Chain A
Amino acid sequence: MARMKFLCDEERCIECNACVTACKNEHEVPWGVNRRRVITLDDGLPGEKTISVACMHCSDAPCQAVCPVDCFYTTEDGVVLHDKDLCIGCGYCFYACPFGAPQYPQDGAFGARGKMDKCTFCAGGPEQDHSEEEFKKYGRNRLAEGKLPLCAEMCSTKALLAGDADMVADIFRERVVRRAGNDNPDLQRQPQGKPWGWETAYKEG
């Protein structure tokens, strides 16, 4: 059984925001809702890092734990989904989520928020796969089509990885091993400095 995971390699992400756009387009999410967003820390400064974030489909999901109507469920693939028919728009999942994943179409007085919307790992919702209702409420169900989330599939630098946790971990581990030269003191002692990274690219130090 697969255990689906996202992983964003912050050494590769180039802040192109294509994942955000692709997600919006694929799922036709309401205006104002962004299931995925790209955040740059230390923007324009040495050590700048960019990462793409959405629902991380937690094993012990805080949203699931605090939902007063218990509308969340975890699929067999480890994807955290929710039932919009049960959702009352109370905002608790939004308080609890570390990643700011749950969002609401409204932000009105008297706590009127509408039904919560978040990343579905392109796995739709509780409705019949590929049905009109499923698409309207949750967007496309790519997993049921045998495809992975679009944000990761179209990522140009393959910074954003999505899929079975073991495979994602293997890919990332391989990358880290190749990059390990950076942490190798023998290589660091060479005159050109570290083999790769910000310091090397901008000739820092």
Chain B
Amino acid sequence: MMTQVQKASFWRILSAFALMLVLLAISGTLRAHEGERHELHKAESVVNPRSDYWRQVREGVQGYTAVKGQETNVLIQGGGQNWRRLRNGPIASYGGVLLGVVVFALGAFYLWRGQVKLSQPRSGETLVRWTLAERVLHWYTALLFIFLAITGLSLLYGRALLIPLVGHKAFSVYAEIAKLLHNFIGPLFIVGLLLMFVAWVRDNLPSRIDIDWLRAFGGMVGDRHPSAGRMNAGEKMWFWLLASGGLVVSVSGLLLDFPNFGQERWLLQLSHLIHVVFALVLMAGALGHIYIGTIGTEGALEGIVRGRVDKSWAIQHHDLWCEQLAADESGSSVPDRPPLPETSHIAS
């Protein structure tokens, strides 16, 4: 389908180009014929001062105005049109395509692969995977993320999707509340992001075993179960995507959220575009994260809900972490701490 569209636009450009050549040729001959008459009127060659004036205006030149306020001395700002075209055009359409493709791909993957089951039956013995503080932090940030995503998407797609369903009045009431809450919850979400970064950055530092884990697709494809420490490479990728994307979304979001510091329009437009693009990418990542953490993997969700995971699950998915725990436990009971197994320092 894409290639057809590309082909169509290619032909359109080509035909436009051909038409342009023909027109140039025609105008060239016409000019040659009328050349004699134009000899008398050299006015054409005189530069119209008004053209320079309007060129300046289109370039956003600043003048003087008695009206006080931000950028009131700018007659025309051209950035708005670019912002409009990018937001209403590629960002809205490709953003929708991105989320749609991710949902479709996850659904197709689930139908093809099914849930990654426990390879060994449940042992009945459980290990603490996430402390209460970690779980509270996770769900605090997760719920705010979902809330921000829904309210943000409402502002981007609500006009096309929700107004036809609920009407202008009802959507306006909803959008007003959505915008207000989005603006107030954003900074609270940043607090969650920062705390999560501090809490888990050590577990998410890359290590050599991550390459092997990625090569085996984390055991999602095939029967191999690659080794992993407390965080596997997939979790690390999500961590760093969220950390970097979160930073971008936070900074751009704060610039938009507090326009009272005199940001000019170009900065607001740019911040808005960056904010939307990165937010959409994070949403796509979050969909994958939610899939793997819930229906994608047997025994994963209980860890982040109740804090404890079955030992069979832990050995299957985070074997090095299990070894580390065992080593720590024996280390704490024995006064002379034995050296840790070689693999465990890589994992931590």
Contact = CB atoms under 8 A, between A and B. Distances in A.
Interface in A58-104: 62, 65-71, 83, 85-91, 94-100
Given A90-B179, A98-B77, A183-B43, A110 B69 contact: no
Contacts of B315: none
Interface in B37-62: 41-43, 46, 48-49, 53, 56-57, 61
Contacts of A10: 53
Contact of A95 (B46, B72, B172, B265): B265
Interface stretch (B21-29, B82-90, B235-243): B82-90
A110 B183 contact: yes
Nearest to B41: A185
A109 B260 contact: yes
A42 interface: yes
B274 interface: no
A40 interface: yes
A75 to B, nearest CB: 17
A155 B144 CA distance: 54
Contacts of B57: 41
A185 B65 CA distance: 35
Contact of A39 (B69, B75, B84, B156): B75
B83 A40 contact: no
A167 interface: no
B72 A34 contact: yes
A146 interface: no
Given A69-B175, A110-B184, A39 B257 contact: no
Contact of B88 (A32, A42, A66, A85): A66
Nearest to A183: B43
A107 interface: yes
By size class, the interface of chain B is 35 or more
Contacts of B184: 110
Given A65-B88, A95-B272, A111-B183, A185 B43 contact: yes
Interface string B178-190: 0110011000000
Contacts of B258: 109-111
Contact of B169 (A66, A86, A112): A86
Nearest to B40: A185
Given A41-B56, A85-B172, A70 B64 contact: no
Interface in B55-111: 56-57, 61, 63-67, 69, 71-78, 80-81, 83-84, 87-88
B84 A88 contact: no
Contacts of A20: 66-67
Given A109-B257, A111-B183, A69 B80 contact: no
Given A66-B83, A98-B76, A110-B184, 13 more contacts: A37-B65, A41-B75, A53-B75, A62-B80, A62-B84, A65-B88, A86-B169, A90-B155, A95-B265, A100-B71, A100-B72, A111-B256, A185-B41
Interface of B: 41-43, 46, 48-49, 53, 56-57, 61, 63-67, 69, 71-78, 80-81, 83-84, 87-88, 154-156, 158-159, 163, 168-169, 171-172, 175-176, 179-180, 183-184, 256-260, 265, 268-269, 272
6 contacts: A20-B67, A34-B67, A41-B53, A47-B49, A91-B259, A100-B72
